[in-house]
Amino acid sequence: MKFRITIFAMLALFSAASAQTGPDKQSGETSNKTLNGKVDQVFAQFDKPDFPGCALAVIKEGQIIYKRGYGMSNLEYGIPISPSSIFHIASISKEFTAMSIVMLANQGKLSLDDDVRKHVPEVPDFGERITIRHLIHHTSGLRDQWSLLDLAGWREDDVIKEGDILDLVSRQKALNFKPGEEHLYSNTGYTLLAIIVSVLAGSRSESLPTKTFSSRLA
């Protein structure tokens, strides 16, 4: 049986390292080793070859001073967790996506009231204006991507890329409701927001596009 581990631990310990130095003024290296050992003690219960675990980073003054994985990411295949392990954090990513959109707005790269088609022209013209603000607040009326994928015959463990979601959106003929008139949780909206962020921030991955998506990026 395959176990999917979605635990991600991020510790921001801005003052802990300096607190370890004490009056004897230990060197920074010794202090960090002391801190690292204390962190390892906290997560020792996860650091087993037969136990799902986590990854962490200790951050001081904006810099990562310690990072490590504990336990296993896959028990069936004996794959351990490392600092470079990829986690499926699901909807935890939504608040970071919304924050990124607001940062781009503050930089003048977009407006929350922009028509989404200004940035993602593959979204059909439904006769109603869908704004970035609608996407953020789940009031766009767009149909949810997971329901559409189920109807299209996709399986839960299939590899699904942003381009596949965009292809689904581009084929839609109507909305669930007029934008702004109702609230309906929409994963589709946040996938579109992620696409906007990646395009405007210049961080688009080369591995994501399908035919529909790559035609715009060529």
Q: How far apart are CA 149 and CA 25, in angstroms?
A: 59
Pair of tokens at residue 174: 């109507």
Active site residue 91: yes
Are 141 and 128 in contact by the 8 Å Cβ rule? The answer is yes
16 CB-near residues (< 8 Å, 6+ apart): 35, 58, 60
Catalytic residue among 15, 82, 91, 207: 91
Are 141 and 184 in contact by the 8 Å Cβ rule? The answer is yes
Kindly provide the residue ranges of all beta strands, DSSP E only, lying in 71-161, ordered along the sequence.
Answer: 72-74, 79-80
Q: How far apart are CA 12 and CA 79, in angstroms?
A: 26
Q: How far apart are CA 81 and CA 93, in angstroms?
A: 20
Are 118 and 135 in contact by the 8 Å Cβ rule? The answer is no
State whether residue 51 is helix, strand or coil.
coil
Q: How far apart are CA 135 and CA 112, in angstroms?
A: 9
Find tokens 């591995």 and name the residue. 207
The H or E element containing residue 68 is strand 63-70
Q: Which residues are catalytic?
A: 91
